[in-house]
């Protein structure tokens, strides 16, 4: 699998997987962030991003795509902290009546857009809000392999998450 078009996609959320939240703030280690890089309006939660995630993400056999409400800001604020180059970004569609119906059914608002963006390619989605409803919908509507991997937002990406992702991504299509 050397052709990037054939590599699985990894849709990556920021809040939860990379910026842990939900536990008392003193439970989170912080990492140095150059104030000149971030400017005066820096998000103080960026210090929770462990730069060690960058090499681990880069080592995964996939094409990483930001799937976050940070959108293009992920390339400006998050990627440099991880030592990653600018990545593709999912551009979320405007909310619609379909989204309201999906929400009532328990489907995450990102799910349809990610399946559309994958366009049949194998993909893993790393988020702290993935549910069984999303997994069932993807299984019924996506012709390729898919892994919807929920990360505990209180701890963010951990060793077990990387092991699960690496194992799944290395499986033949």
Tens-level pLDDT at each residue, the chain (173 residues):
445 558 999 999 999 999 999 888 778 888 888 766 655 457 888 999 999 999 999 999 999 999 999 999 999 999 999 999 999 999 999 888 887 788 888 999 999 999 999 999 999 999 999 999 999 999 999 999 999 999 999 999 999 999 999 999 999 87
pTM: 0.92
Phi, psi of 9 (to 5 degrees): -90, 150
């Amino acid at each position: 699998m050397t052709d990037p078009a054939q590599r699985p996609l990894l849709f990556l959320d920021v809040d939860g997987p990379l910026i842990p939240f939900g536990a008392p703030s003193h439970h989170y280690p912080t990492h140095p962030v150059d104030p000149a890089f971030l400017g005066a309006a820096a998000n103080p939660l960026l210090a929770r991003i462990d730069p060690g995630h960058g090499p681990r993400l880069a080592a995964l056999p996939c094409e990483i795509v930001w799937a976050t409400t940070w959108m293009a800001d992920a390339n400006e604020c998050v990627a440099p902290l991880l030592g990653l180059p600018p990545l593709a970004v999912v551009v979320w569609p405007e909310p619609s009546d379909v989204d309201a119906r999906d929400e009532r059914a328990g489907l995450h608002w990102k799910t349809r857009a990610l399946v559309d963006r994958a366009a049949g390619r194998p993909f893993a989605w790393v988020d702290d809000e993935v549910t069984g409803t999303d997994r069932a919908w993807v299984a019924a509507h996506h012709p390729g392999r898919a892994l919807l991997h929920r990360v505990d937002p209180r701890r963010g990406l951990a060793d077990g998450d990387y092991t699960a992702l690496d194992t799944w991504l290395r499986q033949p299509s």
